[in-house]
A and B are shown apart, each in its own frame.
Chain A
Amino acid sequence: MKSAGKFVAPIAGVALVLGLAAGPSLAAPSGPPIRIGSTLSLTGPLSGTAIIHKLAGEIYVDQLNRKNGLLGRPVEWIVKDDQSKPDLARTLYEQLITVDKVDLVIGPYATPNIVSAMGVAQRYNKMLVHHTMGIPSLAKYEMQVPAWSVGPNPETTVPNTVLDALATLPRPPKTVAIVTSKFPSVYLMSKGAQDVIKKRGLTEVLFLEWEFGNRDYGAIANRVKDAKPDFVWVGAIGLEGNQLLDAMKKIDYVPPLHFYMYPAPGPLAKLPEAKNALAASIFEQHPPFTNNPVAAEFVKLYNDRAAKAGLADNAVETQAAASYSTWQVLEAAVTATKGLDDKAMSDWLKKNQVDTIQGRLRFDRNNNYGDDLMRVKQVQNGQWVTVWPKDWAAPGARILTQ
């Protein structure tokens, strides 16, 4: 499932998409714009990551309009600020569909907001392609299309991928501390990790959970240090991982091996204490990912755009790649069906696969999820590099330990 070879195998549906994608004329788009609506958490606790999705979406729309748009028409992206609030996301999607009368909708960032948007999309029979929904079991709507390649059971497959990677070390971990935020998608993974650890015969020496928005990580750091684990699984989203590492630094504690579920990637990589930190990834800006010319072009544009936007880290990684992939999926569906019929696009996606910069996506398993393409990355010299599986590792990269 995780070999690079599988993703380069020819598949008819992909060939069709590639053929259509390669074929458009370079005439400027004309006619009334196709309006695509979405929200993003431009303010609020999720804004640090949502800004990445905004940049990726803007780049994709610019690229579309520099070609011949969608179906020869220009594309207009209407993005509203859901303030990191699922209830507001619901209202705004309702507004996008009924007041702004957008032609298509695309997902917001983060699981709770996606679930809200999905309810509205279902009410109006709109297809919803979304970026990062981490709880597949909640995605019941038949016309929702996940571009987040975690597979239908990430709570099992992702921890197994991480522990498979660690099992290759000369001294694999035997004891594990799990500390986790109660943010829904992160919590699911951490509870899953707890089960996987037990099944693999490892010893859980600590399990702690905190409310999303916790400020003081001192006591949590102290308890991890006290438990003396070989490996710390940190179920953290956004800045929580940084805050925990800050607290660990203050008591001179360096975890021997440490994994972070959904970190704010740039800030974590820049933190000296995050040396050798592991995380899950679908894309990093190094070969073999950047061997794909579309990915290489996106990396170049994103690096430039992120620098201009003043982001602390300009690299393309998981979040930006997930966002870009979502737009690729939407474009593929529109192009292949030659229209904006939500049902037709959704049906087409369930029967076909789409090549994206994170790999080939399929939508025909439970709740339209496909394969788990998650890889493992590590902070090495202040940069994220993929270290597992070997097929996707950066050239010469291997897992480093403290």
Chain B
Amino acid sequence: MNLPSATLLAQSVLSGVFIGALYGLLGLGLSLCWGMLRQINLAHFALAFLGAYLTYQLSTVGGLDPLATLLVVVPAFFAFGVLMQWLFARFAITPFNSLLVTFGITVIIESAIQAVWTADPRMLDSAYGHVKFKVGALYVPLPELLTLVLASLLAIAAWAALRYTDLGKAMRAAAEDAPTAAAFGVNERRLGFLLSGASAAFAGIAGLCLALSFTLAPSQIYSWVGVVFAAVMIGGLGNPLGPLVAGIVIGVSESLTMALTAPAWAPLVSFSLLIVVLLVRAEKI
């Protein structure tokens, strides 16, 4: 067996960082909803793909720059997130039932995507997709770099907001002990709307990244669920930086597994890491 070249290894690490950033971005809203609203929101993945398809549509038919589509997608998704939270609050959905309800929403969104865009694969041919930078022997594609930058900025911004702003502190308080927080004047209901809206908006932004880097098909919604759940759980629920860090660890591990052994082993990585984390530090999740 030939040993892999240094370039191959380095490029694999870089690919792993990029894909890991996308895991982190997809996991950001999921983690916040799960950790702070106690909702296991499977529809987050469907929303991300809906965002990707809207980016595709607005860019290819509407002629908008893909980044400019965020001006439409983010507010629309925020509103959708608020609506979802209102429904969840109105019907007092429990955490377990949220899994079932959001799975149903996922199926509905998948069917809607298929009805509008058909099951035929779609690919966004944007100017960004053709740009890449060469650093030594390594290639850095612009769409992946954008994903890394967006994922990092959003994760850091969310972390800083939760840690340093009054609003963030109120959210954390409400998540930790809602009755006591309410006694101090924290409006849990409104904060829930804000958090759910922000999480859905994050899904929309992840959709942009999906559209820039991947061929889209409605059925692919489900192919991200396992690994992103692993990133969220390893990263810690409600921790904005956790999914990004865990996603990058998983991404790099997967990439190196594919570079050094059979690529078929790669899917085992995320779940093996999850099992290890559950065994070693289950109390932190």
Contact = CB atoms under 8 A, between A and B. Distances in A.
Interface in B120-167: 120-123, 132, 134, 139, 141, 144
Given A44-B219, A239-B215, A267 B120 contact: yes
A267 B259 contact: no
B144 A47 contact: no
B263 A226 contact: no
A252 interface: yes
A209 B219 contact: no
Q: Is the interface of B mostly helix, strand, loop or mixed?
A: helix
A218 B219 contact: no
A47 B141 contact: no
A113 B141 CA distance: 38
A43 B15 contact: no
B120 A51 contact: yes
A222 B121 contact: no
Contacts of B11: 218, 222, 251
A45 B219 contact: yes
Given A208-B262, A239-B217, A216 B255 contact: yes
A219 B120 contact: no
Interface stretch (A66-74, A121-129, A290-298, A307-315): A307-315
Contacts of B257: 219
A312 B15 CA distance: 29
Contact of A242 (B132, B215, B266, B267): B215
A222 B15 contact: yes
Question: Number of contact residues on B: which range applies?
Answer: 35 or more
A246 interface: yes
Interface string A211-253: 1011110111011011100000000001100110011001110
Interface in A309-343: 309-313
Nearest to A213: B223
B7 interface: yes
A174 to B, nearest CB: 17
Contacts of B263: 208-211, 214, 219-220
B141 A250 contact: yes
Contacts of A215: 19, 214, 223-224, 227
B218 interface: yes
A266 interface: yes
A219 B259 contact: yes
Contacts of B12: 218-219, 222
Contact of A309 (B19, B110, B118, B264): B118
Question: Number of contact residues on A: which range applies?
Answer: 35 or more
B258 A216 contact: yes
Nearest to B267: A211
Contacts of A270: 123
A266 B120 contact: yes
Nearest to B132: A250
Interface in A183-226: 208-211, 213-216, 218-220, 222-223, 225-226
Contacts of B111: 43
B114 interface: yes
Task: Point out which of B141, B219, B255 has the most chain A C-beta atoms below 10 A from its C-beta.
Answer: B219
A43 B4 contact: no
Contact of B121 (A43, A216, A264, A310): A264
B121 A239 contact: yes
Nearest to B122: A312
A165 B264 CA distance: 30
A226 B4 contact: yes
A42 interface: yes
B146 to A, nearest CB: 13
Contact of A182 (B141, B254, B264): B264
A247 B19 CA distance: 12
Nearest to A220: B263
A311 B262 CA distance: 35
Contacts of A13: none
B8 interface: yes
A119 interface: no
Interface string B3-17: 011011001100110
Contacts of A246: 213-215
A214 B266 contact: yes
A213 B110 CA distance: 17
Interface string B206-224: 0000000111011110011
A389 interface: no
A48 interface: yes
A279 interface: no
Task: Point out which of B12, B111, B258 has the most chain A C-beta atoms below 10 A from its C-beta.
Answer: B258
B223 A267 contact: no
Contacts of B223: 45, 213, 215
B5 A226 contact: yes
Contacts of B215: 239, 242-243, 246, 267
A32 B242 CA distance: 63
A213 B224 CA distance: 10
A271 interface: yes
A11 to B, nearest CB: 38
A239 B15 CA distance: 20
A84 to B, nearest CB: 7
25 contacts: A43-B110, A45-B220, A45-B223, A46-B219, A48-B119, A48-B121, A208-B262, A215-B19, A215-B223, A215-B227, A216-B251, A216-B255, A216-B258, A219-B263, A222-B12, A242-B121, A243-B214, A246-B213, A250-B139, A251-B139, A267-B123, A271-B123, A312-B120, A312-B121, A312-B122
Q: List the 3 shortest-distance A-B pairs measured between CB atoms, nearest first.
A: A218-B15, A219-B258, A47-B119
Given A222-B15, A251-B139, 5 more contacts: A42-B119, A223-B8, A239-B121, A242-B123, A312-B120
Interface of A: 42-48, 50-51, 84, 182, 208-211, 213-216, 218-220, 222-223, 225-227, 238-239, 242-243, 246-247, 250-252, 264, 266-267, 270-271, 309-313
